Amino acid sequence: MTNSATQWGSTTATRRALLIHGITMSSNSWEGLAQLLVAEGFFVVAPNLLAHAGRQGNTDYRISAFAEDLRPYFAMDTSYDVIIGHSFGGAVAASLLPFLPKTKETTVILLDPGLESTEEQTTMNLNLFLKETANIKPVEVHMARNPAWSRRDCVFRTLGMTMCDRSAVEVFRVIVQLSK
C-alpha cells in the first residue's frame, strides 16, 4: 500500500471499507464514521490524498492521477465491501471504478462529489479554496459555524486546511480546462 493512511479495526475483519477524504481534509477526518464501521465488523482504511496531510511529490493534479496513486490499495486481490468518497474524494472514488474486481460487488457511496460542475461553480470553488487556505480559521470558528460538528471534526478541519499543499489548487484549474 502507499504510505500515509489511517487504519481502524482488525486486519482480520471479514469486511473492508475504503474512505477517501475531500480537498483540504485528511484521512483523520473520517474518525467518527470509521469507528462506527469498525463496530459493524469492518477493517477501515483511509488514505491521505496527494498534496494533503503533508504528502508531496506529485504535481499532476488530474483526478485520474489521484486515483492512480490509490491503485496500490487494490493490489494483491484486496477488495472492499464499501468505498466512500466525500466531495473531491467522491470524484476520485468514481475514477477508481475500473480498479474494482469484477468478481465481487462493491458499494460505492459518493457524498457531494461535484462530478458535474459548471465552469462557474468550479471557479467559485477555486476562489473559496484560495480564500480558506490563505486565512485558516481556528477550531472555535468552525465550531460556531457548524454546530452539528464535534470538536474533533473541527480540529480535523483546521488541521486538514493547515496540511494541504496550496498548489493542489491546480485540481480546480484542470477541472475548468476539462469543462471547456
What pLDDT shows up at residue 57? 61
In angstroms, the CA 83 to CA 36 distance is: 15
Amino acid residing at 127 = N
Q: Using the Cα atoms of residue 151, residue 129, residue 68 and residue 79 in order, give the sign of their dihedral.
A: positive
CATH number belonging to the domain at 5-179, selected among 3.40.640.10, 3.40.50.1820, 3.30.70.60, 3.40.50.970: 3.40.50.1820
What pLDDT shows up at residue 126? 78
What pLDDT shows up at residue 101? 82
What pLDDT shows up at residue 138? 92
What pLDDT shows up at residue 1? 43
Q: At what angle do helices 31-39 and 151-162 cross, to 10 degrees?
A: 130
Q: Which long-range contacts (CB under 8 A, 24 or more apart) does 135-144 make?
A: 136/161, 136/162, 137/161
What pLDDT shows up at residue 18? 96
Q: What is the pLDDT along the chain (180 residues), one digit of tens a residue?
A: 446 888 999 999 999 999 999 887 888 889 999 999 999 999 999 998 877 766 666 666 778 888 888 888 887 667 899 999 998 889 889 989 988 888 889 999 999 887 777 778 877 877 887 888 888 899 999 899 989 988 988 888 888 877 777 666 655 555 544 444
Beta bridge partners of 42: 15
Amino acid residing at 53 = A
- Beta-carbon contacts of residue 115 (< 8 Å; ≥ 6 apart): 90, 91, 94
In the numeric block, the cell 474512505 is attached to 19
pTM of the model: 0.82
